[in-house]
Amino acid sequence: MEKVDFRSSINWRIFRIMAEFIDGFEFLADFSNEVSIFGSARLPEDSRYYKDAVQLGRMLAEEGYTVITGGGPGIMEAGNRGAYEGGGESVGLNIQLPFEQRENLYVKKGIGFSYFFTRKVMLYASSQAYIYFPGGFGTMDEFVEMMTLVQTDKVEKVPIILVGKDFWGGLEDWIKEVMLHGPHETISPEDLDLFTIVDTPEEVMEIVRTTKERKYF
């Protein structure tokens, strides 16, 4: 009789997904004043934005915030590095991939996920601000999904901060010209208030300081 691999069944996958949610929420329950940092895994240490993310992570840690990232290299490493060097909580929510992703050395406390969507829920679950540095499709996906959750009132309104006017400015122009003022008018004027573009860690901190702690959706 041919052996059946139970791990390939839909029931097993559902239980595994449920377990990831349970483990994720239990893991996050021990932290407070969380701020999530997103950005490219490919930016090197000599990048301006890597350096800015290190500075921001350090500033957040020194003021008592928990820094949460995807736990990988690039901007994620930079945010964790700053928090680590600042003596604060440096948290990584890693994804298990066959290439590119690895947990960076500056994660003090981390957890791994098999599914992108369970990991994203944890990244969104309780932070009081969401900070996006330049990145690729993954960062764009995370940014747009967070915007959608706030726009549709699935989560309370929280600061969504984009760092780097030279990177994000073109996107803002396109949103205004095509989505807002274009022939189809696919968004409302108030949707432009869902995000803020800044250029420095100091500007990010000014916004973060005005927020209140939240725990889960």
**pLDDT tens, 153-191?**
998 899 999 999 999 999 999 999 999 999 999 999 999
Domain of residue 155, residue span: 9-208
CATH number for position 46: 3.40.50.450
| Number of domains present in the structure of the chain | 1
Quick check: is 47 in a domain? Answer: yes
Residue 143 pLDDT > 70 = yes
Quick check: is 183 in a domain? Answer: yes
Buried b (16+ CB within 10 A) or exposed e, 139-163: beebbeebbebbeeeebeebbbbbb
Quick check: is 217 in a domain? Answer: no
Quick check: is 169 in a domain? Answer: yes
Quick check: is 1 in a domain? Answer: no
**pLDDT tens, 65-114?**
999 999 999 999 999 999 999 999 999 999 876 665 578 999 999 999 99
Mean pLDDT of all residues in 133-148? 96
Quick check: is 146 in a domain? Answer: yes
Quick check: is 179 in a domain? Answer: yes
Mean pLDDT of all residues in 49-72? 97
Query: Does residue 21 contact residue 167 with C-beta atoms inside 8 Å?
Result: no
Quick check: is 152 in a domain? Answer: yes
